[in-house]
Amino acid sequence: MSVLDCAMITGTLRGLDFGDGTIYCWDGPISGLGLAPVRDLDVDKGYANGSVANQDFYAKRVLTFPLVIGSPNVVSKAAAWTAYLALQTAWERAQDQDIALLLTLPDGSTQSFLGRPRGFIAQLDQLFRGLNVIRVLCTFVATDPVPF
């Protein structure tokens, strides 16, 4: 499964909680969960049909988290902006080391991914129109694709 319904899922990155029960509500499904893509070492046979199969490995995993900061959890533009800045700090790129992203799933189990946050894309137009809503799409690259 590459897309998971986000109800009852909470994430934590650099001490910031997001998702269910936080000020950062889900704005769509998480992508990148399930099985990681396979990276194979198969070699084409050249002038013959097919290939010679070699070892398969899991490739890096790209996780995306669509979030919305705003109504009904944020009542002012200042509060939405403060929450946005905190999210920006948590999701800034990691310079030279992998960090852990923790997901708490609906059954109470957890999955941790080791990798690097790669920032987010923000949609600020609703905030500037007075709706106190900011939509963001956060990206995390799990360089080790196997959850621990």
pLDDT in tens, 21-78: 899 999 999 999 888 888 888 899 988 999 999 999 889 999 999 999 986 666 688 8
pLDDT the model gives residue 1 = 31
Of the CA atoms within 13 Å of residue 26, those in its CB half-sphere come to 16
Say which amino acid occupies 131. Answer: L
pLDDT the model gives residue 3 = 46
pLDDT the model gives residue 2 = 37
Going from N- to C-terminal start, the domains of the chain cover: 3-144
pTM: 0.83
Strands 10-13, 43-44: pairing kind: unpaired
d(CA 78, CA 52): 60
Question: Quick one: which H or E segment has residue 127?
Answer: helix 125-128
pLDDT in tens, 101-130: 999 998 999 999 999 999 999 998 887 787
Give whole-number Cα distances, 30 to 25, 78, 110, 126, in Å. Answer: 12, 27, 15, 22
d(CA 74, CA 72): 6
Contact between residue 83 and residue 75 where contact means Cβ atoms under 8 Å apart: no
Q: pLDDT tier at 6 (50, 70, 90 boundaries)?
A: low
**According to CATH, what is the number of the domain 3-144?**
2.40.30.200
